């Protein structure tokens, strides 16, 4: 499981509430994902947390079928993906609720939240149902 840092803790606290949030610089407007202590664009520490739309597009993916850590054995095969959020940043996550044969780069996705333990909720993505 992730180990929250001082500057990423709000992200993880918000996922427990079913909110996908991003850290935005108040000085230049740049969004960093994953969150850093400072803005990677202007080096400012003046930031705020904004709620993301929860919409994105599949940018790239890989289907893992073996050699995964023990906690994920029951999830195999599973998809690791790069998701381009509507806000313009890319997040690495998992694709769920989708037949792997139907995955296609550029497909529309929406965030879902998976309570993987009492302490952690992970944002994952599924195809938008039409």
With respect to residue 65, please indicate whether it lies within any of the assigned structural domains: yes
pLDDT band at 62 (very low <50, low <70, confident <90, very high): very high
| Residue 3 domain-assigned (yes or no) | no
Residue 121 forms part of a structural domain: yes
| Rounded Cα distance, 50 and 25, in Å | 10
Q: Which residue has the higher pLDDT, 3 or 125?
A: 125
Residue 15: exposure state from Cβ atoms within 10 A (0-12, 13-18, ≥19): buried
String of DSSP letters for 6-54: TTTHHHHHHHHTT--EEEEETTT--EESS--SS-TTT----EEEEE--S
Q: Specify the pTM.
A: 0.89
Question: Does residue 4 fall inside a structural domain?
Answer: no
Mean pLDDT confidence for 74-91 = 92
pLDDT at residue 74 tops 90: no
59, two tokens? 């940018």
Convert the pLDDT of each residue in 104-119 to its tens digit.
999 999 999 999 888 8
Residues 94-104 have pLDDT tens digits of: 999 999 999 99
pLDDT (mean) for 22-46? 96
The count of structural domains within the chain is: 1
Asked whether residue 2 is domain-assigned, the answer is: no
Is 30 in contact with 41 (CB distance < 8 Å)? yes
- Domain span at residue 92 reads 9-127
Q: Is the pLDDT of residue 37 over 80?
A: yes
């Amino acid at each position: 499981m992730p180990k929250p840092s001082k500057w990423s803790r709000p992200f993880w606290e918000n996922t427990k509430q079913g909110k996908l949030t991003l850290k935005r610089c108040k000085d230049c407007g740049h969004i960093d994902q994953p969150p850093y202590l400072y803005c990677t664009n202007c080096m400012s520490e003046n930031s705020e947390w904004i709620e993301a739309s929860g919409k994105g597009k599949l940018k790239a993916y890989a289907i893992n079928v073996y050699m995964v850590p023990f906690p994920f054995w029951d999830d195999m095969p599973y998809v690791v993906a790069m998701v381009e959020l509507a806000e313009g940043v890319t997040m690495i996550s998992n694709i769920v609720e989708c037949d792997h044969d139907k995955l296609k780069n550029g497909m529309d996705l929406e965030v879902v939240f998976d309570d993987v333990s009492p302490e952690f909720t992970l944002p994952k993505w599924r195809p938008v149902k039409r």
